[in-house]
Amino acid sequence: MCGIVGYIGKRDAAPILLDGLKRLEYRGYDSAGIATLSKKKFHIKKDKGKIADIDRKLDFARMPGNVGVGHTRWATHGAPSKINAHPHADCHGKLVVVHNGIIENYAKLKKFLKQKGYRFISNTDTEVIPNLISYFMRRGKNLEKSVRSAVEKLKGSFALAIISADEPDTLIAVRKESPLIVGVGKGEMFLASDIPAVLKHTNRIIVLENGEMAIIKPSGAVIKKTKSGGVVRKRSTKVTWTAEMAEKGGFAHFTLKEIHQQPEVIKNTLRVPRAELEKLAKFLLGAERVYLVACGTSYHAALVGKYALAKLANLSVEAVISSEFQESCRANGKTAVLGISQSGETADTLKALRIAKESGARTACLTNVVESSITRESDVVCYTHAGPEVSVVATKTFVAQVTYLLLLSVYLAERRGMSKSKICKLIARLNEVPDAARAVLARVEPHIRKLAKKYSNSQHIYLIGRGIGYPIVLEAALKLKEITYIHSEGMPAGELKHGTLALIERDTPVIAVVPPGASQVRMVGNIEEVKARGATVIAIADESDDVKEHVDEFIPVPSTEELFSPLTYIIPAQLLAYYMTVERGQDPDRPRSLAKSVTVE
Ligand code: G6P
């Protein structure tokens, strides 16, 4: 959700914090602010709106001081406004705090502090934090001890960065569930909610774990258990991501860059070592029941996994939306639960894994972020290697997850006795996918741009698919609604006649995803059904198909194995969502009301 940055060192803090905030904007962007400390005096600038606009107005970079904190907000308590924007100071102006997460008992604490004479100006839950720390400092405790005492009283999940006018050479960070990393520099230190914000300065990071705090000075950080104050010895980890990987690289938006990176990402993911697949295979085969839990795009990848594991490896698994796991699933010692999460920080998925663990189940994860929270909830840890994904909407990490699950399905098929010749054929076809994805990108883009112009004012778009086409249309519909804001609904084509057909009228756009395979004939039947009601049909289909004759617009995709089609068929849909969004004058990288990493339930 919100993004936090911090800096302490010899350089001017504000430009570094501003740059970090811009890189974290995908975490929330309804308001932003920076506080620096110079000569024991705070300088605070904040407002509602996007960082670039606020910066144009307030000129963050000119703020003095070599220590500071910054914040980009995704509102939970209190509407987006200048007053509610972070950083928040205590009412005596001695402390500044930025916060990601939710303080569940803030109302009670606010009441207590008000009785003690503390004054509040915002509607946020955050404002109790600097005041509570101040309350303990005024009773004679130093900053570190006051922070620990205050945190002891806070209920909820949060990450905090704190600076104090009384101890200007210290930056304190606290993690309770919401992620925080410390970047280790030479004579300077960085703090951020996520790795891309510090990559420009260092690739050495320390990941704070749940219940830990960092007391950060320019020369280094001491990590302690927040509760006991006991020192935790930790080495920094070197990450392989580079600063360039988190730049736009000549593309107009991160969304477009990340769509174009997909052939390479698929290729990289196909290199997963057999030993890692074996680990996951053992994990799955040793269980009586298997659940794949995930949210959003990752859930759609899980659905592809469900189809592929059933068809190729004869393994029945359930794909479950994480927030529904608790209500709809039962786990025990014979259950295996695989959590799939790009960020590794999605609260609903972490909770599902925790519940599974408490019920005795074994857990595994597939994530894109090294040492993210999900890795600590999992007995088996596997990574997609898609590189940093900056756009809020997931594109390249979807294909990385899908590639991984397809590769795993083929591996399990081999383990379960599929003939060598069939396995070799499948592997050869999988290896063709990166080139096929490249071909799609090279061929369809101009056509998609024209379609985007034509359909960008649509009110509703319906998407239909069968079999493996079903998770593809769900993901395509999600891309469309996330960034175009057009109502888009993906469904199994067979379900049309049970309700949605009533909504199809003259000129309603219907996107039909028709991968090769036995369901094609039935898909043509469904296309005719909607055409009979006046729909305009856009088909994404195998280039050699006769589907063309039945539709208004035809987007050809190179032939591939039916089950591998999500990797190539999703690309035209992603491009359509992107270009329609641009056509509508909206920002595809930063859709309204959404955040990349959803760390609240
Ligand atoms: C948010 C993002 C989506 C993402 C979902 C799950 O809603 O906006 O793009 O698919 O979270 O995220 P995860 O990091 O768990 O894959």
HEC letters along 111-146: HHHHHCCCCCCCCCCCCHHHHHHHHHHCCCCCHHHH
Tell me the C-alpha distance between 168 and 172, whole Å: 11
- At 28 the pLDDT is 67
Tell me the C-alpha distance between 366 and 285, whole Å: 17
Cα(294) to ligand 1 centroid in Å equals: 9
Locate tokens 């030479």: which residue?
Answer: 186
Same domain, 143 and 241: yes
Question: Is there a domain that residue 358 lies in?
Answer: yes
- 567 Cβ below 6 A of ligand 1: no
For residue 85, give the 3-state DSSP assignment: coil
Could you report the per-residue pLDDT of 281-309, keeping only the tens digit for each? 999 998 999 999 999 999 999 999 999 99
Query: Helix axis angle, 566-583 relative to 420-455, nearest 10°?
Result: 10
Spatial CB neighbours of 596, under 8 Å, sequence gap ≥ 6? 26, 27, 343, 389, 391, 392
- CA–CA distances in Å: residue 357 to residues 11, 293, 336, 364, 380: 46, 13, 9, 10, 12
Question: Is there a domain that residue 429 lies in?
Answer: no
Tell me the C-alpha distance between 291 and 309, whole Å: 12
- At 113 the pLDDT is 97
Give the count of domains, the chain.
3
Cα(49) to ligand 1 centroid in Å equals: 23
Confidence tier at 26 by pLDDT (50, 70, 90)? confident
Tell me the C-alpha distance between 37 and 63, whole Å: 9
Higher-confidence residue of 369 and 9: namely 9
- 341 Cβ below 6 A of ligand 1: yes
Same domain, 365 and 273: yes
Q: Atom 15 in ligand 1: which residue has the minimum CA distance? A: 341
Same domain, 30 and 50: yes
Question: Is there a domain that residue 427 lies in?
Answer: no
Q: Which two tokens stand for residue 42?
A: 């705070």
At 381, which helix (H) or strand (E)? strand 380-383
Question: Is there a domain that residue 598 lies in?
Answer: no
Selected catalytic residue, list 2, 295, 365, 382: 2
Domain final residue pick, 381, 401, 418 = 418
Spatial CB neighbours of 114, under 8 Å, sequence gap ≥ 6? 120
Same domain, 275 and 331: yes
| Contact in structure between 72 and 29 (CB atoms under 8 Å) | yes
Locate tokens 């050809």: which residue?
Answer: 556
Same domain, 468 and 578: yes
For residue 274, give the 3-state DSSP assignment: helix
- CA–CA distances in Å: residue 183 to residues 204, 208, 216: 6, 11, 10
Domain final residue pick, 190, 223, 247 = 247
- 342 Cβ below 6 A of ligand 1: yes
Same domain, 188 and 50: yes
Question: Which value, in Å, is the radius of gyration of the alpha carbons in the chain?
Answer: 25
Question: Is there a domain that residue 143 lies in?
Answer: yes
Cα(392) to ligand 1 centroid in Å equals: 8
Could you report the per-residue pLDDT of 565-592, keeping only the tens digit for each? 999 999 999 999 999 999 999 999 989 9
Tell me the C-alpha distance between 280 and 386, whole Å: 19
| Contact in structure between 386 and 373 (CB atoms under 8 Å) | no
Provide the domain limits for residue 279: 251-418
Active site residue 424: no
pTM above 0.85, yes or no: no
Question: Is there a domain that residue 425 lies in?
Answer: no
Same domain, 326 and 223: no
Question: Is there a domain that residue 434 lies in?
Answer: no
Spatial CB neighbours of 198, under 8 Å, sequence gap ≥ 6? 20, 181, 183, 190, 192, 205
Question: Is there a domain that residue 597 lies in?
Answer: no
Question: Among candidates 353, 354, 286, 348, which has minimal Cα distance to 322?
Answer: 348
Backbone angles phi, psi at 319, to 5 degrees: -95, 125
HEC letters along 323-375: HHHHHHCCCCCCEEEEEEECCCCCHHHHHHHHHHHHCCCEEEEEECCCCCHHH
- 213 Cβ below 6 A of ligand 1: no
Burial 583-594 (b: 16+ CB within 10 A, else e): beebebbbbeeb
- At 74 the pLDDT is 78
CATH of the domain at 236: 3.60.20.10
Tell me the C-alpha distance between 462 and 529, whole Å: 13
Same domain, 155 and 34: yes
Could you report the per-residue pLDDT of 50-60, keeping only the tens digit for each? 899 999 999 99
Lowest mean pLDDT among 19-33, 40-54, 88-102: 19-33
Please check the confidence at residue 29 and state whether its pLDDT lies above 90: no
DSSP 231: B
- How many C-beta atoms surround the C-beta of residue 189 within 10 A? 27
Same domain, 293 and 358: yes
Higher-confidence residue of 220 and 3: namely 220
HEC letters along 509-567: EEEEEECCCCCHHHHHHHHHHHHHCCCEEEEEEECCCHHHHHCCEEEEECCCCHHHCHH
Cα(599) to ligand 1 centroid in Å equals: 10
Q: Which two tokens stand for residue 251?
A: 């593309």
Same domain, 461 and 413: no
Could you report the per-residue pLDDT of 301-335, keeping only the tens digit for each? 999 999 999 999 999 999 999 999 998 988 999 99
CATH of the domain at 362: 3.40.50.10490
Same domain, 290 and 218: no
Domain final residue pick, 418, 452, 480 = 418
Same domain, 320 and 464: no
- 298 Cβ below 6 A of ligand 1: yes
Q: Atom 7 in ligand 1: which residue has the minimum CA distance? A: 296
Q: Which two tokens stand for residue 499?
A: 């309700």
Could you report the per-residue pLDDT of 413-457, keeping only the tens digit for each? 999 999 999 999 999 999 999 999 999 999 999 999 999 999 999
